[in-house]
Amino acid sequence: DAKTTQPTSMDCAEGRAANLPCNHSTISGNEYVYWYRQIHSQGPQYIIHGLKNNETNEMASLIITEDRKSSTLILPHATLRDTAVYYCIVYQTGANNLFFGTGTRLTVIP
Amino acid sequence: GAGVSQSPSNKVTEKGKDVELRCDPISGHTALYWYRQSLGQGLEFLIYFQGNSAPDKSGLPSDRFSAERTGGSVSTLTIQRTQQEDSAVYLCASSLTKGTHGYTFGSGTRLTVV
């Protein structure tokens, strides 16, 4: 069942930051926010995840609001290769699978 | 291996035939998942294996679908008496354990039923 709401599509200029929002207003205290992306004709790729605190890795940053009802994935300097569908997923510890909704189709424009 | 390997990468089969799709997970990963993705759609969960526990088959769409995982490693997804609506990309993923570790997906098997 979908626990997240994401815009259907977004554009971003190459070299600029891409900020992808996600609403998860019914998230529970033991549920994590995960982000994956799927480049055309490939399997999904793990990007980042977090519980309460903001997280950063070599791919992206994840900003989670204090009330945890929404989050933003930030790609600091988008490249053409970042064009993909980005999935925001709420995952409950111990659940048997991740539910992938329809995601946000990000198009990076030259 | 370095990643999740799936074979074949493409499979065209006639309606009514049986097909087997193979997944080699990352060595040491105890959790293995099968998903399918129809054209332009999101991922649909099919089945989950964790170690020697009974698999979670709750996502299998019909009794024509079955899967096994031998020796806690390689998994085979079998579709019997294929139908045109079975046409999709079948994706396998593995993770170190069930829990907060990210999944690593294979590139999938594109199944076309004609």
User: Which chain A residues are closer than 8 Å to B43 by Cβ?
Assistant: 44, 100
Which stretches of chain A sit within 8 Å of chain B by CB?
32, 34, 36, 41-46, 49, 87, 91, 93-94, 96-103
**Mean pLDDT estimate for chain B:** 92
Q: Are B106 and A43 within 8 A, CB to CB? A: yes
Q: Residue B70 gets which letter from DSSP?
A: G
- pLDDT over 90 (residue A1): no
Q: Are A57 and A69 within 8 A, CB to CB? A: no
Q: For the segment B70-107, what is each residue's pLDDT rounded down to a tens digit?
A: 887 999 999 999 999 999 999 999 998 765 568 899 99
Q: How does strand A70-75 pair with strand B10-13?
A: unpaired
Q: For the segment B21-75, what is each residue's pLDDT rounded down to a tens digit?
A: 999 999 989 899 999 999 888 899 999 998 888 899 999 999 999 999 988 799 9
Q: How does strand A31-38 pair with strand A45-50?
A: antiparallel
What is the model's pLDDT at position B85?
Answer: 95
**Cα–Cα separations (whole angstroms), residue A20 to A37, A52, A64, B31, B78:** 12, 18, 12, 29, 37
**Cα–Cα separations (whole angstroms), residue B86 to A65, A87, B80:** 41, 24, 10
User: Which residue in A36, A49, A103 is closest to B100 by CB distance?
Assistant: A49
**What is the rounded CA–CA span in Å between residue A7 and residue B56?**
31
User: What contacts A38, CB < 8 A, 6 or more positions away?
Assistant: A44, A45, A84, A85, A87, A103
Q: How many residues does chain A have?
A: 110
Q: For the segment A73-101, what is each residue's pLDDT rounded down to a tens digit?
A: 999 999 999 999 999 999 887 788 888 88
